[in-house]
Structures are given as structure tokens and as C-alpha cells.
Amino acid sequence: MSSLDKVKRPANEAYSLPPACYRDARIFTLEQEHLFAGGWIGFGRADDFEHPGDYVALTVADTPLVAILGTDREIRVFANTCRHRGMRLLPDGRGQTRQLACPFHGWCYALDGRLTAAPRMESATHFDMSEFGLVAVSSAVRAGFVFAHIGSESMPIDDWLGNFEMLHAPWRLADMKTASRREFTVSCNWKLFIEVFNEYYHLRKVHPRTLSGFYRDPDPPDHSSGAFISQFGEHAKDVSVGVLGTDAPPLPTLPGLSGRLRNGTRYTWVYPNLSFAASRDAVWMLETVPLAPARTAVRLSLLFDPSALAAEGFERTLDRYQERMRIAMDEDIAVLEAQQIGMSSRLAQPGRICAALEPSVHEFHAWYANQLIRWGVAID
Ligand code: FES
Ligand SMILES: [Fe+2]
């Protein structure tokens, strides 16, 4: 039986992904091509775009992209590449602009991508400006998340997401507001970074003072008809897992939650790069952009119910939620960077999965193994 077939066995019999998947340059290139340039990728939240001209520029799979809000309040995603001679229009980051002006020779584009100015180009015959708008990239907003699809193959977003929106309906994610954003890079493979976020096995060893003891054993992962996994788990005590200490009460429970959902957290991973924890009072959202097999850019956002943001003293509340996230994230990163070093050893071998506490990781591994097989990758 090949290593990939062993990954695909039921969780209690399954092996983890072969270490090559986390370090091999050829596999990294295939991922970039098929998953990041060929799938739907998370591109922030719709509320990142408040006023016309608000933009987010981001390079994914060596493809500079820019998402920008038009005067018609539609979020569009374009190739961040000038149609004259290919200059990148905006450096990666977020900002506000009235138009997209190329710093090289001055071609200008409207917020809807139309080319509106091309100095001295009357010297070119049969030059039709309407043919030189920015290259549009498919995009969609679902549950408040912005998704972009670079590939030319048509793949409807709703086929990619399957029952994602239905499963998350009680959290009313579309209404939630982004209160903070942080960006950083980590020296590990992008898959390791999201895997640790979606398993409970490491809590006792890695988060003994911060998270261990907050959670019961989770439910089995939910049925997913899309390219995602999701697993709900109840909290062990009737507390928020978003704040440490008891010096001040946590935020109220989200208004759409009832029954068991009122005291738990749903961890979800939308393949390839978006993962979030929808808890009873807040949502932690992670988006990864692979930079190299062992280097990953991470964008971390904290989302809250709009009523929480409007409440008096929210800044102090936010500080407490951020502090708890920072501590837990630092604990994870120390482990992940050491995991990458161990995984990069020529002596590293696939291990076994803990079916009780790592079933989401297993489901991702099985999905990923199928992708490798589809790409023609064979690993003994
Ligand atoms: S490359 Fe943009 S105007 Fe020349
Ligand atoms: Fe963790």
C-alpha cells in the first residue's frame, strides 16, 4: 500500500501525510498551480472594503492581485498588473485610492478596471483603450468572506463551498465586523499552520495555561459537501475561550446561537487557505499565503458582532481578546517552527493520526492525498 493510500484509510487506521508534502519544492509548485491558482482562495472580509476605492493588494501563487470596491459598491478582483508593459500597479497591502495609476508610464484605470488614460498613446494606430482594461479575476462574497479564483476553468463558488453557508448560518458570519487585523510570517509550511488550528490533540502540551481545560472532546467533523472541513466542540465550562482571566466579563453570546452552540466553538478550514474558529462571542480568522515550502504569510483577523463594537469600552475588551490570541499563537508558532525542522529531516516518516482529537486533520490529509494522486504525484 502506498503512503498516500495509507493516508486515505479511516481515521483510526490512517497515517499522516508524508513529510515530503511539507518540504518538497516540486509538490509546492503543484500546490501553487492547482490549489492556489486553481481553487477559490480566501481574500479577506467584505467589511475590509468600506468606501469606494478601498483596496487590498495581495500576491498569491506568484500572481499579484488587487481587490477593490467600486463606486457601485461591488468588490472586484483584478490582476495587479499594468496592461501596458506589465508593471505591478500597487505594492501588497491595503489602502484607499481614486484610481489605479501605473507608476511607470502613467496609464490609469478606473475602480471598475477600465483603462481611462494612456498618455501619448495617440501615436499608436488602432489603439482601442476599451481592449486594455485590467484583467478581471472571478470573485464572490459568501458569509461575509471574499473569495477569488485566479484560474480560467469555470468552477462555481457554490460548488466549491457545498453546504458551508448552511452549516455556519447560526453564527450569522455575514453580519460580523472585523475589529483587528495582524499580518506576520512563520517558518513552516502553510498546511502545518492550519492543521494545528484544527486539532485538539496539542492543547494539553502546548497551551497548558491558556487553552487546555477550556474544551471538551469535540464532536466528530460535520458532513461537508464542499472543499472544507468543520468540527464543533463544546466548552468544558460555561466560559468564553476568547479571553483569559476573570477580571471582566466576556462579550455576550452571539445572537443567532441556541442550545449547545451557545457554549462552544466551531473550527472550520475552507481549502486551501482560509480557516476560522467561530466561537460563542467572537470569530478568529486565519488566511495563509505560502511563500516557500517552509515559509508562510499569515493574515489574522478578529471578528465580532456589530453590537459589541458599538458598546462602550470595546477597545479594552478588544485588547483582552487580542492578548489571549497573541499568547496562544506564540505558543503554536514555537511548536510549528520546530515541527517544520523535524519534518524537513531526510529521516522523517509518516506517523499515525489520533482519531479522537485530530479527525479534521485526517479529513484534510485524505482530501489532499486525492489531489496529489490527481496531479500524478506518487510517493512510496
Ligand atoms: S507599464 Fe504601466 S504604464 Fe507602462
Ligand atoms: Fe494551538
Atom of ligand 1 nearest to the CA of 86: 1
Please say whether the beta carbons of 201 and 352 come within 8 A: no
Rounded distance from Cα 337 to ligand 2 centre (Å): 13
* Ligand approaching nearest to the C-alpha of 207: 2
Please say whether the beta carbons of 4 and 369 come within 8 A: yes
Sequence ranges of the chain with CATH classification 2.102.10.10: 40-154
Determine the Cα–Cα distance for residues 307 and 252; give it in Å rounded to an integer. Answer: 10
Please say whether the beta carbons of 211 and 197 come within 8 A: no
Measured from the Cβ of residue 375, the count of other Cβ atoms closer than 10 Å reads 13
Antiparallel, parallel or unpaired: β 40-45 and 54-60: unpaired
**Which DSSP category does 48 fall into?**
G
Q: Take atom 4 of ligand 1 and give the residue whose Cα is closest.
A: 105
Cβ-based neighbours of 104, under 8 Å, separated by 6 or more: 82, 84, 85, 87
Answer yes or no: is the C-beta of 84 below 6 A from any ligand 1 atom.
yes
Closest CA to 27 of 149, 150, 270, 189: 189
Answer yes or no: is the C-beta of 100 below 6 A from any ligand 1 atom.
no
Q: What angle do CA 322, 243, 239 make, to 5 degrees?
A: 155
* pLDDT value at residue 22: 98
Answer yes or no: is the C-beta of 103 below 6 A from any ligand 1 atom.
no
Please say whether the beta carbons of 221 and 231 come within 8 A: yes
Sequence ranges of the chain with CATH classification 3.90.380.10: 3-37+177-374
Answer yes or no: is the C-beta of 87 below 6 A from any ligand 1 atom.
yes
Residue of 89, 104, 127, 132 to mutate, ligand 1, most atoms within 8 A of C-beta: 104
Determine the Cα–Cα distance for residues 23 and 2; give it in Å rounded to an integer. Answer: 19
Measured from the Cβ of residue 318, the count of other Cβ atoms closer than 10 Å reads 18
Determine the Cα–Cα distance for residues 77 and 141; give it in Å rounded to an integer. Answer: 11
Packing angle of the helix pair 190-197, 359-374 (nearest 10 deg): 150
Q: Take atom 3 of ligand 1 and give the residue whose Cα is closest.
A: 105
Quick one: fold of 3-37+177-374? Naphthalene 1,2-dioxygenase Alpha Subunit; Chain A, domain 1 (3.90.380)
Q: Is 243 helix (H, G, I), strand (E, B) or coil?
A: coil
Cβ-based neighbours of 139, under 8 Å, separated by 6 or more: 43, 67, 75, 76, 77, 146, 147, 148, 149
Which residue matches cell numbers 500546490? Answer: 31
Determine the Cα–Cα distance for residues 335 and 49; give it in Å rounded to an integer. Answer: 35
Give all strands (DSSP E) within the chain, no chain letters: 40-45, 54-60, 63-69, 75-79, 93-96, 100-101, 108-109, 115-117, 136-142, 145-149, 177-186, 228-234, 264-270, 274-278, 283-292, 295-304
Determine the Cα–Cα distance for residues 28 and 293; give it in Å rounded to an integer. Answer: 6
* pLDDT value at residue 247: 59
Q: What angle do CA 221, 225, 231 make, to 5 degrees?
A: 20
Rounded distance from Cα 127 to ligand 1 centre (Å): 15
Quick one: fold of 40-154? Rieske Iron-sulfur Protein (2.102.10)
Packing angle of the helix pair 190-197, 314-343 (nearest 10 deg): 120
Determine the Cα–Cα distance for residues 150 and 77; give it in Å rounded to an integer. Answer: 9
Determine the Cα–Cα distance for residues 345 and 363; give it in Å rounded to an integer. Answer: 25
Q: Give the chain's radius of gyration (CA, Å).
A: 22
* pLDDT value at residue 237: 87
pLDDT under 50: residue ranges of the chain: none
* Ligand approaching nearest to the C-alpha of 121: 1
